[in-house]
Structure formats: C-alpha cells, structure tokens
Structure 1
Amino acid sequence: MLGHWAALLPLPQSAFPHPIDAGSLGTWALQFTPRVALLEDAVVAEMAASARLYGGLDALRALVEAGCRDLGARIAWAPTGLAALALVRHATDPLAADGFHTPIAQLLDRLPLGALSAVAAHQSTLARVGCRTLGDVRLLPRGGLGRRFDKALLNALDQAYGLRPEAYEWIALPETFHARLELMARVETAPALLFGARRLLVQMAGWLVARRLGATAFTLRWCHDVMRAKDAGTGGELTVRTAQPTQNIEHFARLLSEHLAKVQLQAPAGDIELLASEVAPIVEESRSLLQDTLRQGVETEFALERIQARLGNDCVRRPILQEDHRLEWMQGWTSEPVKRRKGGEPVHALPLPTWVLDEPLRLMERDNRPYYQGPLRLLLGPDRVEGGWWHRTGEGDDARTLNVQRDYWLALSAHAGVLWVFQQRLAGDQTAWFLHGHFA
C-alpha cells in the first residue's frame, strides 16, 4: 500500500507567470511513470516503479523537481498519494514537503483539517468538538466518527496514513500534442514570445519522451490581441523543422529563437499555442563505455590499441565467427586486430538459438519422442550437421575426436517455449535426443 508518490500542484498566476493547468501537468508527468492521476486540483504520480530506469529515486526526484520549477508547480513526496497531496497544499518549506525524512503519521498529524478535502467538508463540526489538526481527528473514537460522519472521512484518513489501499483512474496519454498558453501581458515583438513558448516546449518534450517519439517539426501559433488593427489579421504561425527526430528542449528553444528573430508581429499577441506537427520514432542507442566521439571509425581502433598497450593484449578481445557448422565452435574470441574475412560464413537452414548450453543436455524419450518438461512438438527440421573429424582434443590415451553427426530440429515445449534440439547419430543406427539451446 505504501509507495513513493509525488503530488504536483500548479502555482497560482499571482505567484508564477503563465501558470500551467493540472491536465497539462499530468500529461507532462507521464514521461516518468504511467501511473499518473488527476486528484482534485492537483496531480499524483507513483514513481517507485520507474526509479531504476533513471538511476535511482534520488536522480528521478531531482529530474521531476527541476521540471516542476520550469513549469511553475509545487511538489511534495510521501508514501501515499493523499499524503503527498496534503503536504503539497500546506508544506511551508522543501523539508516539510518531503514525507520520507520523518514518519508520515507525524507529518500528517500536524496539518490542519483543510489538508484533506474529505475532512475539510466537516471542518465546522469538528472544530466545535476541539479538533484543529488531522491528529486531533484521529484521536476521536473511530466508532463515533463512523456513525456521525460519512465513510469518505474515514477512508481518506486511512488512505492518507497508508492503512487502506488507494485506487485511482490513471490518465491516458493523448495521441497528439497541442497546448495553449494565455500570456500575462500583450507581447509586441516576436522574440519576446520565446519566454512563454519555452513553457510549452517543456510540455511537448515530456509528451515526446512518454510516447518514445522525437519531433521533426513543430508549429508555434500566436493570436493577436482583440485591440488590433483591422488589417493585422487574427494571428500568425511558423513551423520549425529539425534535421532528425529529437526531444531536446534546448535544441527546440535555440531553433525557435532563430526563427522568431526574423518575424515581425503585425499586432500585439495575447496567447500562443504549440503543436507537434511531425514526429517520428526516436532511435535509442545502447550506452558505450567509450566516449561518443570514439564510438565510430578509426578513433575506436586507436582507443582499443592504447588499452591493449597499457593492460596487455589479452585484456581486449572481440568475438569472431568461425567457419564451422558445429554450434559449439561457431563463435570464438581473439585478441588480434580486426581483419577482413575471406570465404563464406556458416549457413544453417534453421534459425540459431539465442542461448546455447555449455554441454548438450540428454533428453528422455517416450515412444521415440523427446521429452523436456513434457512432450516436445517438432516444428522444423531436420538440419543435418556433420564434421569435426579433423578436430582432436587431449593427448595420448586421453585424445579424442570431436566429430559430430547430428540432425537439428526446432521444437516447441508447452512450458519452456521454443527449443533447439538435435538427434545424435550413433553407431548401429541408434539415436539419442539432446537439448542444445533456447530461444528468447
């Protein structure tokens, strides 16, 4: 029932220019976790499941808090959603907004009755019996509270204190991005629109991250103030294109600034809106131990050469594909530099498994049918592999030839999934079944 919840509350216009609404704030929060809900005038989000993706809860919290500062929202953290909402409404400093530095019951007990809406609905009645804080309400007899007030009061208290599970309706991510912002004052020059537009760019970047997309074009529109000349028109727009799909806010702002510098407004603008005109899937690359500048071309080879020179040749190895049809010896490792291969590569009629066993596992047979966690159904095959008569291991009496004669099959197990099995050809036409690999 306890988790790591964040409550995000939009600041009023008097405290922050260009305030954001709760719906837009919830859409932005979806980039961090799919468990986001609108709760009264705020947004609550459960972040614990996403912590590993961002390198831990501390890194995730720092990222969310930085975004809230850009968007103009207060944030509080607590083990439950309702507790986080109560703290974000009444916490007076960042330490008080952190529901993890002190037991949550102690923090909630100090809050006024208005911290929880279900309790605030009966504030006048509770005040007459001497209740001023949530802790005072909890000291009242539970049976009397249940008879005198509705069930919502006790449910809210139990959920806030983590005694009862919470249930929310998670918001859905919109298919397209379109956000509007009413400016606090009339803007007479196009470059001045960037201040408000950046708020929309932050929201668009959050939507792109949640959708795993990158923008290749976005459109900024502005509406002229009603007190405009007749020939000025209702507004204008410009479309900014990027060379490749991106989610970078600074990149968006830099390009938009360059375009706005060339625009002359026909009349003062009163509000703006931003649209993600064209989007494309973002291509994510695996992180490398080498610097990005060393990942391609000759520089990578130079870096590996320096590592070998300092640590020894055996410390840097690379996989190579051997010209061998036997699965155990098809891949090898070498510390030699990369050389262009000559000749063809081993070709199999069947797809090769994702994981290969170090030693083939002999399978049980029933009615000439292989068994592995139940009977196996042969899907494709056979793919015959013969060879290795030249391959010897050991010396003297321990020497043996690694010759194989196998018929490989693609088999399906009801419990283990798709398997790579083979039938070993033995002397006297006897056969035996072996498991050699698994598929992802």
Structure 2
Amino acid sequence: MPTRRILSIWFPRLGAERLLRRVTDPDTRLFAVVSAEAQDQVLTSVSLRAEALGLKPGQPLRTAQALCPDLITRPRNRAAEAAFLAALGRWAGRFSPLVGIEGTAGLLLDVTGCAHLFGGEAGLIATLRAEAGDLGLSLRCGLADTVGGAWALARYAGQGVAAQRSGDAIDQEARATRSRAAKRRHWERGGAAPVVPVGAEADEIAPPGHLPDRLAPLPVAALRLPPVVVADLARLGLRRIGDLAAQPRASLARRFGPEVMLRLDQALGHVPEPMSPSAPAPRFATRLSLPDPIGLRGDLEAAVCRLTERLCLLLQGKGQGARHLRLEAYRADGGLQAVEVRLARAVDQPEAMRPLLEMQLDRIDAGFGIDMLRLETIVTARMETRQGESGLGRGRGPGAQEAALADLITRLGGRIGLEAITRRHPAESHIPEKSALTLAAAWSEPATAPWPTPEARRPLLIWSPEAITRPETGDITLPFRWRGRVHEVAGASGPERIAPEWWLEDPAWRSGVRDYWQVVTTRGERLWLFRAHGGQISGGWFCQGRFA
C-alpha cells in the first residue's frame, strides 16, 4: 500500500491578491485589506510591496499608515474571500480528486498516487506555482505524510525560529558556551529572526519516513498550537519542535494539557488525522443537441418543453427546486445567446418553468440557426411539501394560495424585475416613517404581525414632511397653501400626538413633538397634516401623507 501523501497549499496574500490580480502591476501596489477587530482596524492581508516595507497581517491600521502614508486599503469581504477560496478548490481538483478547504486561506490535497502524472512531487509543485502565478496568486506548499506535517512545512519551512525572550527566560549556559556564542547565528542567541519574504524559499517536501527530521528545526507554532501555549513553551526554552519532542511526555501533558502532545503526535503521524475533502455542489443541467439548426419560435418552445421535463426529473430525484434558471442557445456561427429567469419560489414542475422561459424567447437572436440548447439551474432550494397542495400545485389550501401568489410575483418579476416587487411588513415603532418595512416580495414571507388598529391608521402614501402655509394658531379648518395651491378644509379629525424617540438621534425629529390631523379638503383629498411644536429647530405646519 503506498504511503499517504498530503499536500498543503497556503495563499499568504489571498485577500489582497484577490483584489489585485486583475491589475497590470500588482507587485508595485501599496495595498492592504482591513478588517475591524475588537473596536480597532487591523490589516488582514497585504500586497508584496507592502510586505517588503514592513507591513504584516495583524498590524493596526494606524501603525501601517504611519509607516506608509500612501497605503491603499479596502474593507475585508469575508464572504467573497470564502467564495474565491472555494473556486480555488475547484481549480485544484485537476491535481487531485480529494481537495479540502483548510482555514480561510489554505487547501489540502491528498495526492497519493497522483504526483507521477505531473513529473513527480517536485513537478507537481512547480506546475501549481506556475498556474497560480498565471492567476496572479502567490502560494507556498508543503508535502508530507501527515496533514499536520504538510501544514507546518507550508507555513514555516525555511523561516528559522523567532526566538522569544522575556524576564522569565531560562538561561543556564556555561561560560565556555558563552565564549563561543559569537560564532552562532544572532537569532539563535535571542535576537530577532531574519525576515524571509513569503514565497522566497523553496517549497518543502518531506520524503516518506523523513518527516521528523524536517519538522525538528521548525518553531512550535507550526504545530497549530494557541499563541498563549507557544509563548509559555518559549519561556521554558522550548522553541523548536525537536526540543519539544525530546522532553518527557508526562510532565508536558500535566503542565500544558493533552493538546500539545496530540498536535505533536498528529504532525509526526503517531495519531491519525483525517482529511475532509469538500463535496462538490450538485449541478442540475440538461442539453439538447439538434440535427439541424432551428430558429422558429415554435421550434424553440418545443425544445424548451423537452428541456424542462428532463431538468425537473433531475431536480425531483434530489428533492430540489429551481430558483434561478439559465437558458443558453449555441448558434451555428459560434455565437452564444443566454437568458435568465429568477423565481419567487422553488419549483420542480415543468408547467411552472415553461411559461417563464417562453416569455424570454423573444430576446434570443437565432442568427443562422441554433445547434444546441442548454438549460441549467444556477440556484436551487430544497422543496417543501405542504398539505393542501396536490399534483401540479393546484388546490384550495393555504399552500396552494401561497404558491399562486409566488407564481404571480415570478411572472411580474420576469417583466419588471423581482427587485421591483416589494411587500410591506409592520415594524415596532410609533414613528410614522418607521412603522413599516419594505422587503423584496420574492425573498420574504407575508407579514404575520398585526397592523396598527384603525384608531392609529396611517396614510397609504407617506413622504418627507413638506411645509404648508397657514396661520400658526387658530382653528384647524382654516385654509392652507400647499404645493402652490390653496386648499379649503371641509373636515378634520385629531389630533394624534407623537413624540420623538428620545433614545435615538433623528435629525428629522429635531422639531419636537408633533400633533397629527386627518384633513379632508373640498376637492376630496384626505391629507395628513401635523404641527411641530419646536425643539432644537423651529416648528410649524407640514403635510406628510395622503390617505386612499
């Protein structure tokens, strides 16, 4: 049985290079990605030039700007970085069928029996480095028999040991040893370790059976130990993995707990450590190759009918429904026409997909004819079976009514866009403009909370307060001027007093307490007026809404 071989790939500048890889000269950019940590902004990733000037991840932003005033920063997008790392995992699938995500900037590959396809292990790493360079990415690799050993080599191989000194450091060297200390390297005598640019050293490969020798000179931080434990071990003079492996196990376990010995045994292969490869996301797609090019709408509708039936069989087999469809038409002249349809609910029935796709067929230019059609689901969701739904979703239960409403939203969204269709939800606030939330109808459920009672009715349309001209004091039935027109009052009801939220600072409510009136004009308009009594700014009369 061949020896298990694990390859660890580390992208030390993933966050910065994700944003810089499309720039023509990324190596000359002073660039850093910033994240808010513990009420402070720190660097999470820096470019190659910024790293050469002394900037590093974890450094406060104010310190970095003091060193490099011309530093360009961008906020960190964790979701985008995770998606980019997942895409790199799919890219690495050409080197091994078993690829896993490691942390926020690393990949793990089980390359057992795969290296000979690329000219050996050194050839595999060289190919990786060349292709990553074409993508604008820098990487470091470690190849060993264990997951922990490969992780340690990828991140710490060739960088020496940064010796840590403190007031508690144990220094019991004899005078004879001190007399020869000048011949030793300065960082082995307690000085700072030399700065080794990431990627400058060759990728480390530990041949089978030689892993302990390769790990011995590495710092104990390469065992994936917490920084506090690493600092405690350094105070005892245990800075290298070889120093730690030579100590009695029982005393170390009593003082530092079982984690130190577990990580050491995992790195050396004494304790197995499983690797969890990422499962590929299921893809639902079907295509139809045509013997002769087609271009008539009737032919396209017949092809769409066959494609939707096949796609729905695939979705139903996995209990999934489509939320986003893409139809691609490959023309005889090599061109590509594509249309997309977004749905307000997950569907797995051809009758629900077909009309939506047929609405988009007019946007496809057949040219000299279409040779092939392909239908793919971009976004899927698990289907939920509800009582009251039967067959194709027809029925009279609540589930059928919700499905019918979702289908209506989908049809309207196909013409004006799903984002343009919204629904209102009640909000817990007595401020008129904050009493309701506007949500996208396709990605929200109907409101379950009760709306305000008729005694506290709100107008159908609410806008920013607009000043009106009327006497400051006097009866509410006096005429007023608004939007360039004089309005006669036929009736009024109120007032309803609303006070501002004192625990929140809202510039629109600096005019103090408001008294709201429902006013009916002689033209039949039902307006919502209020008088602001004045606060931080002067008050007056305003119009804020219109009732239906």
**Which TM bucket (shorter chain)?**
0.3 to 0.5
Give the structure, 1 or 2, with the largest relative contact order (CA under 8 Å, sep 6 or more).
Answer: 1
Length-normalised TM-score, structure 2: 0.30
Length-normalised TM-score, structure 1: 0.37
User: Which has the larger share of strand?
Assistant: 1
